[in-house]
Amino acid sequence: MVSRFQVMAVLQAARAYVLGLPMESAHSWGLNRAIFIAAAKRGFKGGTGGGGQGAARRTSKEADTYLLGDDLAFKTEKDGVLLFTIGGKVQTEEAFDRQVKSRFGKTFPAVWKEALAYVKSFDRDVLLSGQDFFRTVYRPVRDVLSEKWSETA
């Protein structure tokens, strides 16, 4: 079953990729944002990671944060690759594969292609705004894509 969590992760990863992040960094971003939104929905109360959509904590070390449009996340680098963290955990390609890609099985390449085409259909300004992305890109299709992608997975 493909849940809203996986839909958010894929669409956020596609957003990050369209906005210029390399694939592995985009996957990390997508998983990071899905985790953040899920935690915020459950009443996330601080912690050592996260950021974005107005609930971000800025540290004294600006070098530890990354802005994608107006969304803020904590970042790290592993083997020269920009990755994102939340709650002290790094969202790696392996974590994306385990928590997101695995739900799609062999259909992930087609899902990724569909997500990229969908995200590319929006103005850059919409993609740069976390709130606009959530309201305009994600929310209208989250249940439709969850059902559709579950059926094809």
pLDDT value at residue 56: 40
Q: How does strand 89-91 pair with strand 81-86?
A: antiparallel
- SS3 readout for 15-76: HHHHCCCCHHHHHHHHHHHHHHHHHHHCCCCCCCCCCCCCCCCCCCCHHHEEEECCEEEEEE
Which tens digit of pLDDT belongs to each residue from 103-120?
999 999 999 999 999 999
Q: Is the pLDDT of residue 32 over 90?
A: yes
Q: Is the pLDDT of residue 68 over 50?
A: yes
